[in-house]
Structure 1
Amino acid sequence: MKQLYREELLNRRKRYEHAEEDSERIGESFLQLNEIQRANSILLYYPHKNEVNTLSIIKKLIKSGKKVLLPKVKGEDILPIQIRSLDSLKKGYAGIMEPEGEAFPVEKIDVVVVPAVAFDTSGHRIGYGKGYYDRLLKNVKGLKVGLAYDFQVIEKIPSQSHDIPVDLIITPTRIINTKGGM
């Protein structure tokens, strides 16, 4: 079931023509959240294959003095590494740009922005099937946020006990508090 959703939604995302303007709207909503304004350390992802573009968010957060972290894949794990600019990144796992440096302690991250192919309104997600973020998220105490185009939020995603849901999902048209509210 997840594999069918994954294929269908990846194809739709690849062809999605409003990615740029939707990414801007999502970024504005994200940066206005009180939790983001209060956060010291934020792990984002480098956009890949027409994902919600996080580059303007990353630049604004660096400029504001926040500790901005990006993931580096090492073996079976994601290492969060602080960056001070996008210029120092190198092509890494799956051709995605990655930082070099020392890993930041996962339990000290205030906010993690989790990439996904799809989310449901309970915060469950379909990732890329490798489990990197599930392994990372089990140690995250901070806020978990999903950024998605509206069509990426679907009714129900089958979940398992090791799946860790996000707390908020931000789309171009709404913010979904997966714990109820908003």
Structure 2
Amino acid sequence: MKQKFREELLQKRRKYDRAEEDALKIKERFLQLPEIHRADSILLYYPHKNEVSTLPLIEELLLKADKKLLLPKVNGDEIIPIPITDLSSLKKGYAGILEPDGISYPVEKIDIVVVPAIAFDINGHRLGYGKGYYDRLLKKIKGLKVGFAYDFQIVDKLPAEPHDIPVDLIVTPTRIINTKGGE
């Protein structure tokens, strides 16, 4: 059932024609969060397979000297957060996703992590690609966990397993969902 649902949503995401416009709306909503102003370090993802594009956000945050911007690098079964200062040095890594090289940033010092998903439910549970990379990472993150999604990627309930780590907020083009209750 999970696989069929995953395939249906991926198909919908591939055909979505407002992705660029919605990614900019998501970026603006995200930048208005009060936690952004207090954050020293932010881990974003590099967009892959029609995920909400973080590129406009990455480019904007790279201009802010007061923020340490991190991107993930897959190393074995783990995601390693690595600081970046530009996008030109990224190289193809796991699954063809562009990744940084460099020295790992301490996971416990990450203030905000932004994660992609195929779907989120209103409780913050995510449906990913099924490899568990982000669940293993999110277990170690003490900071704010944020999901980026198009509105059609939000569902009422996803099957959750004990190892699944929910996000605290989900940012869509039209709303911010506080998964701990309230919008």
TM-score per shorter chain, which class? over 0.9
Q: Match of 2:97, as an amino acid?
A: I
The aligned amino acid for 2:149 is A
Match of residue 40 from structure 1: 40
Partner of 1:52: 52
TM-score, scaled to structure 1: 0.98
One-letter amino acid of the structure 2 residue matched with residue 153 of structure 1: I
1:86 partner SS: coil
Match of 1:78 in 2: 79
* Matched AA of 1:49: K
Structure 1 gap ranges (5+)? none
- Give the SS at the match of 1:101: coil
Q: What's the secondary structure of 1:36's corresponding residue?
A: helix
SS in 2 for 1:88: coil
2:166 counterpart residue number: 165
Unaligned runs of 5+ in 2: none
Give distance in 1, aligned partners of 2:168 and 2:4: 25
Equivalent residues, number: 182
Alignment match, 1:148: 149
Q: Deviation digits for residues 43-71 of structure 1, max 9, x if unmatched?
A: 00001111101011111111112100000
1: distance between equivalents of 2:88 and 2:38? 26
Structure-2 separation of matches of 1:100 and 1:134: 22
Q: What amino acid does structure 2 have at the position aligned with 1:149?
A: Y
Corresponding position of 1:101: 102
Q: One-letter code of the match for 1:81?
A: I
**Per-residue deviation, 1:119:** 0.0
Runs ≥4 in structure 1, deviation > 4 angstroms?
none
State the Cα deviation string for residues 108-161 of structure 1 (Å, max 9, x = none).
000000111000000000001100000011000000000000000011100011
What one-letter code is carried by the residue in structure 2 that aligns with 1:125? R
Which residue does 1:2 correspond to in 2?
A: 2
- One-letter code of the match for 2:18? H
Identity level (%): 69
Deviation at residue 181 of structure 1 after TM alignment = 2.3
Separation of aligned partners in 1, 2:2 and 2:125: 11
Partner of 2:118: 117
What is the alpha-carbon distance in structure 2 between the residues aligned to residue 19 and residue 71 of structure 1? 22
The CA RMSD over aligned residues, in Å, is: 0.7
Could you tell me which residue of structure 2 aligns to residue 179 of structure 1?
180
